[in-house]
Homo-oligomer: A and B are copies of this chain.
Amino acid sequence: MKRKIYLKMKSLREAEGLWLGRFSGKDLVGDREISVSEALGRVTSEPVYAGLSSPSFHAAAMDGVAVKAEETYGANERAPKRLRIGENAHWINTGRPLPPGTDAVIMVEKLHETEPGTVEIHAPAYPWRDVRKVGEDVVATELLFPRNHRIRPFDLGALLGTGVLDLRVKRRPRVAVIPTGNELISGESAGLAGAALEGRVVESNSTILAGMVTQHGGLPVVFPIVEDRFEALLDAVRRAVESDCHMVIVNAGSSSGSEDYTAHVLEKLGEILVHGVAMMPGKPTVLAEVAGKPVIGNPGYPVSAVMSFDCFAAPLLRIMQGLPEGRKPSAKVRLSRPVPSKLGIEEFLRVHLGRVGNRLVATPLPRGAGSITTLTRAEGIIRVPELSEGLSPGDEVEAELLVDERALERTLVMIGSHDMSIDVLSDLMKCDPGGYRLSSANAGSMGGLLALRDGTAHAAGSHLLDEATGEYNRSYVARVLGDRKAALFHLVKREQGLILPKGNPKGIQGLKDLVREDVTFINRQAGSGTRILLDFRLGQESIDSDGIRGYDREEYTHMAVAVDVKSGVSDVGLGIYAAARALDLDFIPVVEEQYDLVIPSAFVEDPRVRVMLKAAASSEFRERVKAMGGYDPGQSGELWMEMG
């Protein structure tokens, strides 16, 4: 059990200090001369001075005739003056040089045509009227840009317009990205999607990291996948450090597993500054210097890899390019539910965000670092400080934004029971030119109604059966929302049924088979619409739930139930047809249920809600949902009832 012991774990702030302190103030990348046409987005490495004045000659500022002002004196309405073209008046267009001897322009709108070759003026010109004099904009030798200035499109015009055709800029930092891991297979090798991977994982972190390098102005150099072997990794890191790269990122092998060689290799080749940072995700980060170059051992979980890059690689890339510290745009948000957190660890909590009423509401996503969708689906990240034991609902905290701040105002927040038809709504909303988005958090039907009660969502997807009346949702909405006005809109009717392994090896026919001794069931969580439905149907068929093996094992989504069955852990579960179909499982319909959208009346006229309801009522929605199977979207988007 030869395992790497972490160096004393550092706080994020300590680690940043050690890391940036080691490398800042040094010229790590150098500069080079490029032509202006290549300069967009580049950063000046020295001050840039105008080579020529602009304009470089006295130029007409208007279309008209160039004249000598003193020859126009005395002209007025009653005593106009005539000027002869080619003698004392010269046609001139904006931007062209004044002919010798002239010092003013009379604009075309003020000229009166009399006879050919002559123009009449009713007012005099004064010297330099409508003329841009030499150097009016810039005089040669003036400072155009200080160093460390990032060139914008119009800056290119100031350069060319003052005779600067080449300039010196910082080199783009080259960053070597070395993927390592025996379990990895490259995207190319993986071939077509769906190919059997035999326990291997498509290597994706290097693509993420390369994208982040690009986004931060660097040039990524992705190495081939290195096997988990000390000598192999040693060799790869040495080659990267000896190359023309300015920074090296090893991903991963930075933890303490038996095949985690990164720290050993970096210790051998250089100096480790930090091994282990009190952050989550991102703890197993190694920060080192090898031959004067920064080398990062970046953790393997994708979210950890991203956070570690953001904390250590990104700021160093900015420093290398002479750019000031960049912080993401952020906003003050309020949490919709409590977030316990571990003391002594700075946590990067991914959250859904959207403006509901007058509050920006944050609803946490799952916290697993292995789940990249906790980033792709999030609108923001809340940093829970090291010294906090957690956050409470209503706490106002700062969230870094992963989407445009304006997008938050156009985000429809839906919390509740998830259904695949919501994905179709989400896609259709993105077709509206208004830039609307749907942010959907899965909290079960009851969770959705509670979110509406608490003012943390605009809409909830709900399929709660009232066992007493056989009616859906109405009584639950009344109970949870009380007097508050709300509208119920139909979305879909859908089939719930038994999800079974392909071929139904145990020959399960219906609910009565759930009590068989050789059958293991997987249940949904208490309070979910599916659980209520199950209990209702068990009651109808007088089946005792005590007799069902696995009744007490709960999953939180249709898909999780299907996965449980697919992987052989359970023999049967209750869920929607779409989940069975997605995983190519068998399905026995048990009941058609009603899935509605519950929307507080205060939000019904909100443009986000209008756009969603329009999408729900569209023929495209109905066709696409129908094609998924197990759905009846006949009334989708229609108002069912108003309450409260």
Chain A: residues with CB nearer than 8 A to chain B? 1, 3, 24-25, 35-37, 40, 47, 51-59, 61, 63, 91, 93-97, 103, 108, 111, 113, 132-149, 152-161, 163-165, 181, 183, 187, 190-195, 197, 199, 201-205, 207-212, 214-215, 255-260, 300-303, 306, 319, 322-327, 329, 368, 370-373, 375-376, 402, 404-407, 410, 420, 423, 426-427, 429-431, 433-436, 438, 559-560, 562-564, 566-567, 569, 579, 581-583
Contact in complex: A51, B193 (CB < 8 Å): yes
Interchain nearest-CB distance for A183 vs B (Å)? 6
A-B contact pairs, 5 of them (CB 8 A): A95-B300, A132-B370, A135-B563, A153-B212, A154-B208
Please indicate the chain B residues that have their CB under 8 angstroms from the CB of A108 in the complex: 1, 3, 256-257
A333 to chain B, nearest CB (A): 18
Closest residue of B by beta carbon distance from A140: B582
CB < 8 Å neighbour of A37 from B25, B52, B187, B435: B187
**Known contacts A37-B207, A256-B108; A375 and B154 CB within 8 A of each other:** yes
How far does the alpha carbon of A301 sit from the alpha carbon of B95 in the complex, in Å?
Answer: 8
Q: Within 8 Å CB of A372, what residues of B?
A: 54, 137, 154, 157-158, 161
A560 touching B135 by the CB < 8 A rule? Answer: yes
Q: Are B93 and A257 in contact (CB under 8 A)?
A: yes
Q: Closest B-chain residue to A208, C-beta based? A: B157
Contacts beyond the supplied A51-B193, A140-B582: 10 A-B pairs with Cβ under 8 Å? A24-B433, A40-B215, A55-B201, A61-B368, A133-B564, A135-B560, A146-B430, A157-B376, A161-B201, A319-B433
Q: Are B56 and A197 interface neighbours, CB within 8 A?
A: yes
Q: Nearest CB to that of A325 among chain B residues?
A: B435
Q: Are the CB atoms of B207 and A149 closer together than 8 Å?
A: no
Identical subunits present: 2
Q: Is the CB of A193 within 8 A of B164?
A: yes
From known contacts A199-B57, A327-B406, A435-B324, infer whether A113 and B160 are also in contact, taking CB-CB under 8 Å.
Answer: no
Interface centre among A108, A324, A371, A563 (most CB of B within 10 A): A324
Q: Are A407 and B139 in contact (CB under 8 A)?
A: no
Residues in B with CB closer than 8 Å to A57 are 199
A53 to B136, CA, bound (A): 64
Residues of B close to A96: CB separation below 8 A = 183, 199
Residues in B with CB closer than 8 Å to A583 are 53, 135, 139-141
Quote the shortest CB–CB distance from A224 to chain B (angstroms).
14
Q: Is the CB of B137 within 8 A of A370?
A: yes
B1 touching A113 by the CB < 8 A rule?
yes
Q: Are A132 and B193 in contact (CB under 8 A)?
A: no
| Given known A147-B431, A160-B207, A165-B190, contact A139–B559 (CB-CB < 8 A) | yes
In the bound complex, residues from chain B placing their C-beta under 8 Å from that of A25 are: 433
CA distance A375 to B149 in the complex (A): 14
Q: Are A146 and B427 in contact (CB under 8 A)?
A: yes
Instruction: Tell me the complex Cα distance, A115–B132, Å.
Output: 91
Contact A559 B144 (CB under 8 A): no
Interface pair A95/B201, CB less than 8 Å apart = yes
**How far, in angstroms, from A155 to B426 measured CA to CA in the complex?**
17
Min CB gap A433→B, angstroms: 6
Q: Cβ of A306 and Cβ of B154 under 8 Å apart?
A: yes
- Give chain B nearest CB distance to A419 CB in angstroms: 11
The 6 closest A-B pairs by CB, nearest first: A324-B435, A153-B211, A51-B193, A160-B204, A143-B423, A63-B257
Q: Using Cβ atoms and an 8 Å threshold, which residues of chain B touch A256? A: 63, 108
Q: State which of B132, B159, B433 has its C-beta within 8 Å of the C-beta of A368.
A: B132
For A426, list chain B residues within 8 Å (CB). Answer: 143, 146
Q: When A156-B211, A373-B158 are in contact, do A135 and B300 touch as well, CB less than 8 Å? A: no
* Known A-B contacts A146-B426, A156-B207; A433 and B324 likewise in contact (beta carbons under 8 Å): yes
Contact residues in B for A211 (Cβ distance below 8 Å): 40, 152-154, 156
How far, in angstroms, from A217 to B614 measured CA to CA in the complex? 30
Which residues on B sit within 8 Å (CB–CB) of A423?
47, 142-143, 146
How far is A193 from B462 in the complex, measured between Cα atoms in Å?
A: 70
Say yes or no: A154 contacts B199, CB within 8 Å: no
Chain B residues closer than 8 Å to A302, beta-carbon distance: 154, 157, 161
**Least CB separation from A564: chain B residue:** B133
Instruction: Give the CA-CA distance A240 to B368 in the complex, in Å.
Output: 52
Write out the residue numbers on chain B whose beta carbons fall within 8 Å of the beta carbon of A164: 193
Knowing A560-B135, A582-B141 are in contact, say whether A40-B147 is a contact too (CB < 8 A): no
A1, B108: Cα distance in complex, Å: 9
Q: Please determine whether A192 and B214 come into contact, CB atoms closer than 8 angstroms.
A: no
Q: Which of A138, A211, A306, A583 has the most C-beta atoms of chain B within 10 angstroms of its own C-beta?
A: A211
Flag if A181 contacts B567 (CB, 8 Å): no
B-chain residues with CB within 8 Å of residue A47 when the two chains form the complex = 423, 427
Q: Are B582 and A194 in contact (CB under 8 A)?
A: no
Closest to A153 in B: B211
Among A161, A205, A214, max chain B CB count under 10 A is at A161
User: For residue A85, which residue of chain B has the nearest CB?
Assistant: B1
- Asked whether A207 lies within 8 Å of B300 as measured between CB atoms, the reply is no
**A56, A160, A303 — which one has the most chain B CB atoms within 10 A of its CB?**
A160
Q: Is the CB of B207 within 8 A of A36?
A: yes
Query: Which residues of B are found within 8 Å of A24, using beta-carbon distances?
Result: 433
